[in-house]
Amino acid sequence: LVAADETGGIVGVAGAFPGSGWSAHVAEIRVLVSAAHRRRGLGRDLARAAVVEALELGCSQAYVEVIAEQEALVAMFQDLGFEPAALLPDFVRDGTGEFHDLMLLTLRADDQWRLNQVLGLDEVHA
């Protein structure tokens, strides 16, 4: 999934990436938005579309990895029905060498389908 600005420049991308074998029913959700286009709802729209893509691919569960201190990002995914599943202390190192906690958030589509309908996820077309 690609989001472009009025000049055609790419400002965001997202996708659902199903696992294989024993985790074929689980999709990893990835969302990237350029710094200049954050806090406008674009990330939320891309994340919703990626979840719909996961459902259309036949996945019943999805997960996303985020830096735990990015509270707004964690809240956005929780608003979409994701729940914290694991916290991995000092699991990520940034470009300056500083460590950060990684949070794993999960969505069980089979348990969350009514919530998805309320959020309009069933109406988003990837």
Residue 106: strand pairing partners: 63, 83
Stated pTM of the model = 0.83
Q: Are 68 and 101 in contact (CB under 8 A)?
A: yes
Q: How many CB atoms lie within 10 A of CB 90?
A: 10
Going residue by residue through the chain, which has 126 residues, state the pLDDT in tens, using 9 for 90 and above. 898 888 989 999 999 999 999 999 999 999 999 988 888 889 999 999 999 899 889 899 999 999 999 999 999 999 988 999 999 999 999 999 999 999 999 998 766 555 555 566 556 544
Tell me which residue has tokens 């991995």.
88
pLDDT for 85 equals 96
Evaluate whether 109 touches 54 at the Cβ level (below 8 Å): yes
Give the pLDDT confidence score for residue 116 in this predicted structure. Answer: 57
Q: Could you tell me if 2 and 10 are in contact, meaning their C-beta atoms sit under 8 angstroms apart?
A: yes
Beta bridge partners of 27: 18, 62
For residue 69, the tally of other CB atoms under 10 A from its CB is 10
Among the listed residues 112, 111, 31, the one whose alpha carbon sits nearest the alpha carbon of residue 72: 31
